[in-house]
Structure 1
């Protein structure tokens, strides 16, 4: 705890320090990317009661630890307040915008263009908790998993570009349709995408004719463990996401909330990466 922290409010305001909490460098990076408070334009509305850094730390704590909203420690703002802010920022697309800004900075730091020209796609089925309604869950017979499936696209550095969450019963090639459409809508510079053999067939032709996007299939040829070209990058990204326990299983009532959890997990990873030095 700190006795005085400008980012967390007045003197003597508790400043919880958990492994998931923002460092000062992370907060300096993330604070300008958050939306402006609702009443800064002088048009009425209540001021924000709780410091934003404390709210963000609470959300990071939940995503990293995989706990329920109402199980947040008492030194954070009330769980209902944190959840309401999470929902409001999810609806406004805040998490995606922050992830985009951090990804652009990492790419520029690595000497690359801000806008990628190639992508990699893959999917991962995760078990669903009892909080996930039956209408948005399914059974993945190949992986023997009942729940939801997240379809993600990354650049060649493994940085998240887009995510779509469907029922686990959705075939990879069917889930890739909205994923590739979203990818084309957001990144006109991408002309090439790599995928595994599960995407072979009509998806390749559809992407080429409708989206003008080439999908190259990277097939497994040797038995046993083999590091496959390009595909290992996105598999590493899925491993990064799964380090955050809220993403190991799907607890979200709404698919867009699970998408937000994935963006938050990548925000935590990228912000640490940018401030590590």
Structure 2
């Protein structure tokens, strides 16, 4: 490319001016940083205040969108002998008021004059996992200072929430789905305290019925008898209901449903009801799915 002498001079002048501009900007930037550093504590205080206000406003806005009923949680002193969780008409906070109007609220009562552990049975798609999740979310919301989507919420603060929900493997660690399940369960048994909340969803389903039932029985018995923590334990092992029927710290409950044997149809009522569910009605659900 040919540049005339005049054009070369113009390019040199431009580059020099850009270098001067860059040096001036660097100097200004350094002065701004030094000035900011002089008031570092003041700025950090403002940032913390803004973050706190943002959190409070977020919780306030969330409380206005939870629908009714909605309550401020009541905390019970940890000096009592047993930890308590008493929630009336609990809903899932992700249910949008005015749209999902048919969501069925449920009561959860653990501790105090009730057993601290619920053995939960019910049909597939009956709402067991949703109940487990909304119970965890309610405690998290309560302990972070937010309103709870329930008519009333009383609880002794929990030190930790342990959950074993869903199924997944860990290829990188060479762990099967069942191994991951047992590893997480072992962590719960080793670290849970009487102030913890433990949620176990269909423990033992990753192996044979005989072995899975033995594991589920042992874990449930240990949690309810030795640790004495609050918890919900969902299962499809009907024999567990018979074995745990007379345990003083375990309440048998199920998600209610209506079964039409002639039509092979199940109507899910999504209501937590005392007693054990007689069947899982897996064949009925398979029929509904077109299998």
TM-score, length basis structure 2: 0.28
The structure with the larger Rg is 2
Higher strand proportion: 2
